[in-house]
Amino acid sequence: MGAICNHDPYFVQKEDAFRVLGLLPEQKIMAALRMFAYGASADQVDEITRMGKTTVLESLMRFYSAIEALYTNEYLRKPTPRDMRRLLRKGEMRGFLGMIGSIDCMHWTWKNYPNVWQGAYGDRK
């Protein structure tokens, strides 16, 4: 949150002309995260965060712009050969051989697989 507030002053809490404090940075960031994590619409989020729909959408756009600007070079880049070796080594230690070649792990048996979902995700199509 600190990095995002330092990057974009939109997220910093400010006073308006009547000296009333505006929205908290936590409210704006939480609105964006809820929309992303849960697939919620702006209408669903605005009641929870007590924000207007346009403010929720503005927060979402500015949040993702800040994330992209701050973390692209380190985290949102293509993996290097060194990164690939490290990921493959970790995957092999956990029993997922060649995990980089396929993200489809539905053939793997789950220890605590719910019986209700039995067969629901078995078809790779």
Distance, in Å, from the CA atom of 39 to the CA atom of 42, rounded to the nearest integer, reads 10
Position 124 in a domain = no
- The tally of domains found in the chain comes to 2
For residue 15, give the 3-state DSSP assignment: strand
Rg (CA), the chain: 21
H or E element in which residue 57 lies? helix 53-71
Same domain as 6, residue 57? yes
8-44: b (≥16 Cβ within 10 Å) or e: bebbeeeeeeeeeeebebebbbbbbebbeeeebebee
Position 122 in a domain = no
Position 123 in a domain = no
pLDDT of residue 48: 82
Same domain as 6, residue 67? yes
- Mean pLDDT for back-to-back runs of 10 residues, the chain (125 residues): 94 91 92 89 84 92 95 86 89 78 57 62 55
pLDDT of residue 70: 94
Distance, in Å, from the CA atom of 58 to the CA atom of 11, rounded to the nearest integer, reads 11
Domain that holds residue 6: 2-71
Phi, psi of 89 (to 5 degrees): -60, -45
pLDDT of residue 25: 93
